Structure 1
Amino acid sequence: MEEEARPIRQQQLRINPTILDMVKKEATRKDHFPLPFIDQMLEKLVGKSHYCFLDGFSGYMQIHIAPEDQHKTTFTCPFGTFAYTRMPFGLCNVLSTFQRCMTSIFSNLLQDCIEVFMDDFTVYADSFDACLENLSKVLTRCIDTNLVLNIEKCRFMVTEGIVLGHLVSNRGIEVDKSKIDIITSLPNLASMQEVRSFLGHARFYRRFIKNFSKIALPLSKLLQKDVEFNFDQPCIEAFQEQKS
């Protein structure tokens, strides 16, 4: 072999994207079971005297995969070939499947003493004794269904707490100050990706921002097709006003 000769690296063969989409569509059936509406959950929780915030341990891993379907999760690593026996992260429909299971477990307690969003469970009541009684119902249901909680992340019999990025208490709904501190410390945005990310976070708290759409308009225009990115003075003013 000549000294200047170099082996040619063959490009990795990839399936045509169109064919891949067809394969995915045929191989997977989407489960459209909905997640709870965050606004409705928060409105249900505010104004209570006591809360218990419970967290499911290892989330999806508490859901068993049917033996006849376990081979579909087969993967290979340096230590051999394995298949999951419990539902891992990343599979199609895991969000819907998990929420469906949690809704089924607490079906007769929902809208009465508990709100469930994935593996976050919030028990509530208008008095200490009532909250203690509701907690007993929920824990009994967990025992009956072998649902395991993460004790390190649970908080019991408190008067306020964080639910999906919001502080709920008998005072009402407030922003999570730790999240706001991160947003307010952001420097001026330098790309469309940063604008899109910022607006996504800001929309999460739009209930606290009067005339949100009007204020955000200069930033939203930057995301329009064929618009040159120019973070000009109107954008800076809109950015600063939303942060404040």
Structure 2
Amino acid sequence: SQVTLADGGKHPILGRITLSLGVGPLRITTQPYVLQELTDAATYILGSSTLRQYGASIDMESATLHLRKGTLSCKVPFVSFASVGPEGGRSEAEPVVNIAVAAMQKRTEPKSVGRKEADRMIRKGAHALLVRPGLHLNAATTSTSTDPEVEALLQGYADVFRDVPGLPPMRPVDHTIPLVPGAQPVSRPMYRLSPLELDEVKRQVTDLLAKGMIRPSTSPYSAPILFVGKKDGTLRMCIDYRGLNATTIKNRYPLPRVDDLLDKLKGSAYFSSIDLQQGYNQIRIDASDIPKTAFRTPFGHFEYTVLSFGLTNAPATFQAVMDRMFRPYIDRFVVCYLDDILVYSKTREEHLEHLKLVLEVLRREQMFAKRAKCFWAQPQVEYLGHIVSATGVKMDPRKVAVVRDWPAPQNLQELRKFLGLTNYFRKFIKQYSVLAAPLTNLTRKSAFISLESWTSECQQAFEELKRVVADNITLAFPDHSLPFIVELFSDASIYGSGAVLLQEGRPIAFTSKKFSGAET
């Protein structure tokens, strides 16, 4: 038997297997056919039945495939290729969805061929796939810069982008876990894990042991492990430290406000975003507190020597480290929110110098970045869920697409998720509190007791809020050398009031307030 694909190619069927795909939080189990000589550009093809089962929808504007199953959903970015056919002509870029396969599969190294061999293969009907320059195929792909000077600079700091070699150095700020007086060691039983999660536990524990980031433990403390899905479809092992956190004295070191960080970017035309590898794992835990981090697995009892996700004061410690490292440059040409670093400059020449200073700090501090997730000297970049450019800031189109495609909530939990996402962008939305009032009223205790609570007014507010978000306006950065104008919205709303901050006729931010019971 053989299969004919959309490109007309016929491929013999070698057999059928059971395969588990990890797509964000979704787990898709299928029984695909294995084809001979299937192009590497399409390692796996999802059939129409699977796409229907997971409510697939394609958003060409944000170049993403959306999948949904119950309350779980995810979006997968396209990978674009330029196709070269037998006639040698180059067609427009064709979108291909890149999905991580969460199962063992046979891998072969790509074979290199010369020009003559490539010409012969194309004449016989083969299709050559040229990766668009500068395109990031997946998290494992090394990012490149199309600017030769930027690329030369990055090559000079190649050591900053190597894999984290093991234990980080001791720093002036290490993580401590102070306990409230009288606190006793907390020990919790293990959670049950799926076969896939058990394999992942063994793999990650082996890797962390080899790097010295964990060690065998005899501590009286013990926390269970669990897994959360990452954006690339892989699993992140997390420790449930809720018991330990309840007895830990809280560190009130402040995290920066996202709005304040974005306001610093006025006048900038070049941006580079730098993402640190395993950010928390690049901070040591104070030796006296290591036993408190102990966790149990089916393969043994271990404790962390480096900062772990889930510890209550981890963000405060990490932000303190970043602020200390970049203190001379923060708010001049660098902003940091935990492990997300943004370098911004007015000119290209300035930007090259700023990048050199930042990379020098990372080298000196032995902090390692993940180059595949970094973007260099761009006119616009994504930062903390926003798109920033010389013209201002707007919502990330991928998050806009999530809101636009959100189905009507079926319960209070789904409604709160929707409102949580839209509330994050409320400064972009005129009269947000007024628009969302019928929905926020449902979040009161016992208000959303059944689907009958979802009235036509709620549906209208839901649709209008999605429409306004989909407009995705660009807000200007504030210029403190110019006067500000506040314009009030004085309509006859029974729900609330609002205002907009303007400069030279452009909105800087919207604000609104829902009336209390006494104010209506």
Instruction: Settle same-fold status: TM greater than 0.5.
Output: yes
CA distance, structure 2, for counterparts of residue 167 and residue 35 of structure 1 = 21
Equivalent residue runs for 1:1-244 within 5 Å:
27-229=247-449, 230-244=453-467
SS in 2 for 1:186: coil
Any gaps of 5 or more consecutive residues in structure 1?
1-11, 13-20
The structural deviation recorded for 1:77 is 2.6
Separation in 2 of the partners of 1:66 and 1:226?
46
Q: Deviations over 1:176-223 (max 9, x none)?
A: 111111110111111111111111100111112100001110001001
Secondary structure of the corresponding residue to residue 173 of structure 1:
strand
The CA distance in 2 between the partners of 1:72 and 1:174, in whole Å, is: 42
Amino acid in the other structure paired with 2:454? F
What corresponds to 1:9 in structure 2? none
Alpha-carbon distance in structure 2 between the residues aligned to 1:30 and 1:127: 42
SS of 1:65's equivalent?
coil
Deviation at 1:228, TM superposition (A): 4.3
**SS of the residue aligned with 1:87?**
coil
SS of match in other structure, 2:280: helix
CA–CA separation in structure 2 for the residues paired with 1:53 and 1:66: 30
Q: Deviation string for 1:11-53 (max 9, x for gaps)?
A: x9xxxxxxxx99865x311001111101111111244110111
Distance, in Å, in 2 between the alignment partners of 1:34 and 1:137 is 25
CA distance in 2, matches of 1:215, 1:208: 13
Structure 1 SS opposite 2:264 = helix
Higher RCO structure (Cα 8 Å, ≥6 apart): 1
Contact 2:245 2:311 in 1 (8 A): no
Instruction: Kindly state the Cα deviation for residue 133 of structure 1 after the two structures are TM-superposed.
Output: 0.6
CA contact (8 A) 1:46 1:168 kept: no
**Is the CA contact (8 Å cut-off) linking 2:284 and 2:305 kept in structure 1?**
yes
Whether the 8 Å CA contact 1:46–1:173 is kept in 2: the answer is no
Q: Which has the higher helix share?
A: 1
* Structure 2: distance between partners of 1:62 and 1:22: 24
Once the two structures are TM-superposed, the CA of residue 144 in structure 1 deviates from its matched residue by 0.9
Q: Which amino acid in structure 1 is aligned with residue 429 of structure 2?
A: I
What is the CA distance between 1:58 and its match in structure 2? 0.4
**Range that drifts further, 45-54 or 161-170:** 45-54
Q: Supply the AA of the counterpart residue of 1:240.
A: E
Q: 1:206 to 1:24 in 2, by over 3 A?
A: closer
Question: 1:225 deviation in Å?
Answer: 2.0
8 A contact 2:253–2:320 mirrored in 1: yes
Structure showing greater radius of gyration is 2
Q: Per-residue deviation at 1:240?
A: 0.5
Q: d(CA) in 1 for partners of 2:457 and 2:402?
A: 22
Query: Structure 1: which 4+ aligned runs deviate by more than 6 Å?
Result: none
- Where does structure 2 lack aligned partners over 5 or more consecutive residues? 1-188, 190-241, 468-520
The RMSD of aligned alpha carbons is 1.8
Alignment partners' CA distance in 1, 2:315 and 2:243: 22
Task: Tell me how far apart the structure 1 counterparts of residues 271 and 253 of structure 2 sit (CA, whole Å).
Answer: 27
1:131-172 Cα deviation digits (max 9, x unpaired): 111111111111111111111111111110111111000010
The 3 A distance-change label for structure 1 pair 60 and 22 is: closer
| Structure 1 or 2: more strand by fraction | 2
Q: Secondary structure at the match of 1:198?
A: helix
When normalised by structure 2's length, the TM-score is 0.42
CA contact (8 A) 1:99 1:118 kept: yes
Q: Residues 64-100 of structure 1, C-alpha deviation per residue, up to 9 Å, x if partnerless?
A: 1122221111223333322111111111211111111
Q: How far apart in 2 are the matches of 1:33 and 1:74?
A: 25
> In the superposition, relative to structure 1, how do residues 136 and 221 fare at CA in structure 2: closer, same or farther (>3 Å)?
same
Q: Deviations over 1:108-148 (max 9, x none)?
A: 11011100001000001100000111111111111111111
Residues of 2 paired with 1:148 and 1:111: CA distance? 22
Q: Is the Cα–Cα contact under 8 Å of residues 411 and 448 in structure 2 kept in the other structure? A: no
Against the structure 1 CA distance between its residues 228 and 207, is the aligned structure 2 distance closer, same or farther, given a 3 Å change threshold? closer
Q: TM-score, normalising length from structure 1?
A: 0.87
- Whether the 8 Å contact between 2:245 and 2:312 is mirrored in structure 1 is no
Letter of the 1:51 partner, please give it.
F
Q: Closer, same or farther in 2 for the Cα pair 1:144/1:205, shift >3 Å?
A: same
Equivalent residue letter for 2:362: C
* Partner AA of 1:242 in structure 2: L
For 1:114 and 1:93, how far apart are their aligned partners in 2?
Answer: 24
Distance in structure 1 (CA, Å) of the matches to 2:313 and 2:326: 20
